[in-house]
Amino acid sequence: MSNYVLVIDTNKSPCNPIHPAQARKLLDLKLAAIFRRYPFTIILKSVSTDVVSPIQLKLDPGSKVTGIALVQEDKVIFGAELTHRGSAIKASLESRKSLRRGRRARHTRYRQARFLNRTRLKGWLAPSLQHRVLTINTWVKRLCKFAPITRISQELVRFDLQQLENPEISGIEYQQGQLAGYEVREYLLNKWDRKCTYCEAENIPLQVEHIKPKAKGGTNRISNLCLACDKCNKKKGTQDVEKFLAKKPELLKKILSHAKRPLKDATAVNSTRWALFTSLKQMGLPVSTGSGGLTKFNRTTLKLPKTHWIDAACVGKVETLEILTTKPLNIKATGHGTRQMCGTNKFGFPVRHRTNKQIHYGFQTGDIVKAVVKTGKKIGVYIGRIATRASGSFNISTTNGLVQGISYKHCSTSHKKDGYSYSA
């Protein structure tokens, strides 16, 4: 079943979200109208007098995808997965950097380097990281307009670093354990790609393994831990890893270097966690936090599948949870285009010029439209994101592919461009 429908009354005050069937009935009876397509929101034609039940907004921030869930009375009524564009921002900045460096090196007018006259404010984040904070804030504010949200829960740390540095677990608790074991195991599963370190076997039970055996002075520090299947763990026993992999020098070198390498995605999340927490606190709602290990403990205890939005629903203290939706809203940050008027090739030379006019016949690139074509070679109904042209002949990106040459006369706007693309 899809998400519950968000509802606001005629004064634009948030009401209780309702089942899609109930929303369809209100629309058929002309008691409500569609206010927004994504997230789907209806507006009542009267003032609501119903008692509003508080809703908790839960967030599972990730380096690439952030999970969002709305929980009302231990029931998950709305889920969304927000895909960030941090990698695209990083690639654009690197491209600009190489173009500017190339111009300085060519025999043209000298352009002095300007990196010595810049200062960074306290709390500065790289643009690719700041983007994550800003997009999450955008969607928190947006959902607060359409749902009676009274609390926010955030997964503040992906991994509890203090427990990782000094995990008070031993023996069988490495394989099963309580919450402390979940912190360590979740970190190792991400770091070693959920594979056996020695034979790269997948989709089998994995055990926490000491690279340098404890019998020979090895410690419980996270840099000395990896994952191994039962067969490899028993075969290695108390041997030094150098002796165990004496005939595989390349694998040995890879393991030793990988053991000391920090987890890139976890580092990105940890870099932005406090900035996100501070910005959420400024919204005036109470904000509670939880760790990634606690999230996994809740999810596995409740026997729920692993997805970003379900992880978000499991953030913090959770005793029971009922999932009332199975189709989350997929949100992908696409940006608002570029302000660069002169396009360049890979060497930095100008090759094309962009017009400063973005709106053509009332449409803008990025709008989601519905096109109904009744004549010609392209008869049909097309729904998707458009790319506009001054000629009035648009391209529409649908779920079945790209459709070219659709006249603006056949198009009607379903959702205005807002820097995101959507799918169910």
68 occurs within a structural domain:
no
Domain end, chosen from 264, 286, 310, is at 264
Q: Residue 25: what pLDDT? A: 95
Domain end, chosen from 221, 241, 264, is at 264
- Give the residue numbers spanning the domain of 36: 6-44
Q: Residue 30: what pLDDT? A: 93
Q: Residue 79: what pLDDT? A: 95
89 occurs within a structural domain:
no
Instruction: Outline where 127-214 has alpha helix (H).
Output: 127-146, 161-165, 179-191
The number of domains in the chain is 3
361 occurs within a structural domain:
yes
395 occurs within a structural domain:
yes
Q: Residue 358: what pLDDT? A: 83
- Cα first-last separation, the chain: 11
Q: Which parts of the chain sit beneath pLDDT 50?
A: 161-163, 165-180
CATH number of the domain residue 394 falls in: 2.30.30
31 occurs within a structural domain:
yes
Q: Residue 189: what pLDDT? A: 83
- What is the per-residue pLDDT across 294-351, written as a single tens digit (0 to 9) for each? 888 899 899 999 899 999 999 988 989 999 998 999 999 988 877 777 877 777 778 8
The structure tokens listed for 138 are 């955008």
- What is the per-residue pLDDT across 126-184, written as a single tens digit (0 to 9) for each? 899 999 999 999 999 999 999 999 999 999 876 554 445 444 444 444 344 344 455 67
318 occurs within a structural domain:
no
Element of type H or E holding 151: strand 149-157
397 occurs within a structural domain:
yes
The structure tokens listed for 17 are 């979200």
Per DSSP, 376 falls in state: S
The residue among 162, 160, 157 whose CA lies nearest residue 315 is 157
Q: Residue 168: what pLDDT? A: 44
| Alpha carbons 61 and 277: distance in angstroms, whole number | 11
35 occurs within a structural domain:
yes
Q: What is the dihedral of CA 361, 362, 365, 371, to 10 degrees?
A: -80
| Alpha carbons 163 and 141: distance in angstroms, whole number | 34
Domain end, chosen from 238, 264, 290, is at 264
